[in-house]
Structure 1
Amino acid sequence: MTASHPSPPTLLQRLRATFERTRESGANLPPEPVLASDLGVSRPQLREALARLEGEGLIARRSGAGTVVNTEALDIRTWLSQQEPFIETLRRAGLADASIELLSIRFRAMTGDEAAYFGRPSGCGMLDVRKRWRAGGRVHMLADYQVPVPGARGLSDISAPDDPIFDVAARVHGAPPAWEIAHTRAETADARLAGDLETDPGSPLLILDLLGVSTKGLRLYRTREHHIGNAVDYGFVRTFR
């Protein structure tokens, strides 16, 4: 069992905290030059972050009207569109004892179907990893990772138990993923999943199937996450155009 240290807040997280403070105080957001100075970033960095938050529906920017915050959206604690290590998601939910357990890890040859899916030559290696996240005395998520690995690599220089999958993929391929494509569905736990999740067979699960993609269109990894319980409340905003 491992427990990683929290990462420092990202610019997006710091902006959300700023929006929270303005909502509580009733003050207006400062102009962009002041906001950039307060956050210690350049104006281009700030504009890029604001554009991303606008795309998510958290803010609206109108010429002559400044930036308007969607205060209802501030109550969404975990955005389905945002990528972060799940252990940090649990900690933000107030579960300070969150930890990661490595259940299995192996290196093997890809199957033909896997080679076709990832666009790799036959004989390419595959890293299989199964982990689970525990907090508050119970399991909250189980994940199965697959990362194509070119050439012969030792497991020790590819993955550690608390490494996020996108860090492992970046280490293997020399560049981080640019996007993660997500598909969601609901299903119930079979006997094997129920055992690893320490729950009853038939328990409801939220499934996230994730695909990491590079800017060159290369498929870097795929993950299936099995979420159980209600420790994490995911949300997103639909924007009317």
Structure 2
Amino acid sequence: MSQETILVADDDREIVRAIQKLLEMEGYRVLCAYNGLEALEQLVEQEVHLIILDIMMPKMDGLSTMMKIRESKNIPILLLSAKTEESDKVLGLSMGADDYISKPYQPAELVARVKSSLRRYLYLGNREKAKEEKSNAIENGGLLLNLDEKQIYVDGDPVKLTATEYRIVELLMKNRGRVFSAEEIYERVWKEQAFATENTVMVHIRRIREKIEINPKVPKYLKVVWGIGYKMEKY
């Protein structure tokens, strides 16, 4: 079971209680705060590995609290807010948040994002050692492709790909940001002339997303450029 400690800060006590119960069922130790000042006090007194922080709170709002935390700590911060405008998300992320979850949230998605952020944080805490061990590797956000091992790691965890899936990922990782048509992907990966290959490539892309994305329906890394093809988003 997990031993990490998570601090949940929200002025809505019912939400705090629900998140606390959800995370404790996953084996985490949970601390509770009901405004920004209480959250800062908990951080002084306790070792915390991740914070779930509501934006709209009394005494000190979530964004101000986050800025104060970022002065001395780089622990993951997940913003939780009823604000769903894209500008609010961009603002929160640009100010130092690691992720942004809109209310009402899906419990399974919240748990998945907590686990992903914790894995990334604990893995990146040992990143220099990982780089030494995986010198012939390509990094992109939470993805690390070890070219010697022919292995991809997602937030530090190895993910098993088929040989064809690996070749697609390798092609896109080596050319992050570049858009490839389905025909071009097919010819480079299958080493054959492309003819009516859109569905074949699409199925493989879908399977890869299911393995490397938190939410395959809203992918972070493997993006479709409608009418053109696919790309690996550059981070």
Shorter-chain TM-score: which interval? under 0.3
TM-score by length of 1: 0.27
| Larger proportion of strand | 1
Structure whose residues are more often helix by fraction: 2
Which structure has more RCO (C-alpha within 8 Å, separation ≥ 6)? 1
- The normalised TM-score by structure 2 is 0.27
